[in-house]
């Protein structure tokens, strides 16, 4: 599809102007009318119509979401219209649709929170971006499960087009969480050890690889389930020092399993319950456990318990640092030094990909929608 800098036209939807500020509820009401009832000479451009995953109420995503067409919207002077290339289905996306995530867009809403797209058109005041450039929303921004997105230039970060598309689409929510947790809580040095549960998750896989690049040992805990031997082998290939199932750690002295590996000074907990207590058994006295998922409910002494939420860090005034870290992670992806399990699904197969992401078809790789 041809792309261009368009700065001279604005279309009306059945005689009504539609912009990116128009409430989605109004846009959805207008979509049953003719898309172009008038074209006049105005100062703005318009986007193409967009195919989107929309939900009007909170609930189970496979019940409340639907794929529909949205009419064009204005591209104002500082706006960038992006043709989305790919966007993942993250657990936090599912939680937003369910209504249980702390930060949620107003309803009705378009699903998705991160992704990668190609600049389709730019407003007259936009500098530094051109049609054809690849961009990601940074910080992440709601509404990436649609074919065209119009947002202000400040939302978009340009990325290297040589990056594998599926990695550019998924770099923020999981890999950046892993990197921030390794850097934010303890000044880790080469030879130190970390311990984590949920090691087969994307964050867990990234922690293993980023730790290895820094000369940091990793002790990894996974659930007892079918395929655990294959999961262990895969994590070892990524650079894990040790991988244990929870049942293997039902011993009196888990630290005795470490051999010559130093006691962990930092632990990452995304599961809670017994899996969290196993991390605490491994941790060195005075160590720190960071929770970014399930919460441990038992009081712990002589340890530091803390939490991490990427949303809060991304909302802080760290634009330069954020951009630098994203570029660093994407560079590792291009060099093959950071990789994780993904499955690319056609946007037309959204509901099948959603079922996989919800765990309704057994354990599956992270689903990435390709538009």
Q: Active-site positions?
A: 101
Cα 160 from Cα 133, distance rounded (Å): 8
For residue 236, give both structure tokens.
Answer: 């070892």
Cα 235 from Cα 200, distance rounded (Å): 7
Contact 334, 309 (CB under 8 A): no
Cα 35 from Cα 241, distance rounded (Å): 58
- Helix H or strand E segment including 213: helix 202-213
Query: CA torsion angle for 184, 189, 191, 192 (degrees, to 10)?
Result: -30
3-class SS letters over 122-156: ECCCCCCCCCCCEEEECCCCCCCCECEEEEEHHHE
- 304-307 β-sheet, strand order: 242-245, 217-222, 193-197, 266-269, 288-291, 304-307
End-to-end Cα spacing for the chain: 13
Cα 35 from Cα 16, distance rounded (Å): 10
Contact 116, 169 (CB under 8 A): yes
Contact 294, 119 (CB under 8 A): no
Sort 70 into a burial class: Cβ within 10 Å, 0-12 / 13-18 / 19+. Answer: buried
CA atoms 345, 351, 357, 362: torsion sign: negative
**Of 69, 80, 73, nearest to 21 (Cα)?**
73
When computed from its CA atoms, the radius of gyration of the chain, rounded to whole angstroms, is 23
């Amino acid at each position: 599809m041809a792309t261009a800098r368009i700065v001279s036209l604005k279309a009306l939807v059945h005689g009504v102007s539609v912009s990116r500020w128009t409430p989605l509820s109004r846009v959805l009401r207008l979509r049953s009318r003719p898309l172009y009832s008038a074209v006049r000479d105005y100062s703005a451009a318009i986007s193409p119509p967009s195919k989107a995953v929309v939900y009007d109420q909170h609930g189970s995503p496979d019940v409340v979401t639907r794929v529909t067409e949205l009419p064009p919207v204005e591209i104002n002077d500082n706006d960038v219209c992006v043709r989305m290339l790919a966007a993942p289905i993250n657990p936090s996306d599912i939680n937003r649709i369910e209504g249980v995530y702390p930060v949620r867009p107003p309803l009705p809403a378009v699903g998705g929170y991160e992704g990668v797209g190609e600049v389709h058109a730019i407003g007259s005041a936009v500098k530094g971006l051109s049609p054809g450039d690849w961009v990601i929303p940074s910080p992440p921004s709601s509404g990436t499960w649609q074919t065209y997105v119009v947002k202000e230039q400040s939302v978009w970060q340009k990325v290297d087009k040589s990056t594998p598309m599926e990695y550019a689409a998924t770099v923020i929510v999981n890999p950046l969480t892993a990197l921030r947790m390794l850097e934010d809580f303890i000044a880790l040095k080469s030879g130190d050890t970390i311990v984590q549960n949920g090691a087969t998750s994307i964050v867990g896989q990234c922690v293993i690889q980023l730790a290895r690049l820094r000369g940091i040992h990793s002790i990894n805990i996974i659930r007892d389930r079918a395929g655990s031997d294959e999961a262990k082998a895969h994590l070892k290939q990524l650079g894990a020092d040790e991988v244990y199932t929870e049942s293997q750690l039902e011993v009196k002295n888990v630290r005795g399993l470490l051999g010559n590996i130093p006691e962990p000074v930092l632990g990452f907990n995304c599961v809670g319950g017994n899996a969290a207590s196993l991390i605490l058994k491994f941790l060195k006295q005075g160590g720190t456990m960071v929770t970014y998922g399930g919460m441990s409910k038992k009081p712990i002494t002589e340890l530091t318990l803390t939490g991490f939420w990427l949303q809060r860090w991304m909302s802080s005034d760290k634009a330069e640092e954020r951009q630098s870290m994203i570029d660093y992670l994407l560079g590792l992806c291009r060099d093959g030094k950071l990789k994780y399990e993904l499955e690319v699904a056609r946007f037309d197969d959204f509901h099948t990909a959603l079922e996989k992401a919800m765990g309704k078809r057994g354990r599956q790789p992270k689903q990435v929608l390709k538009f």
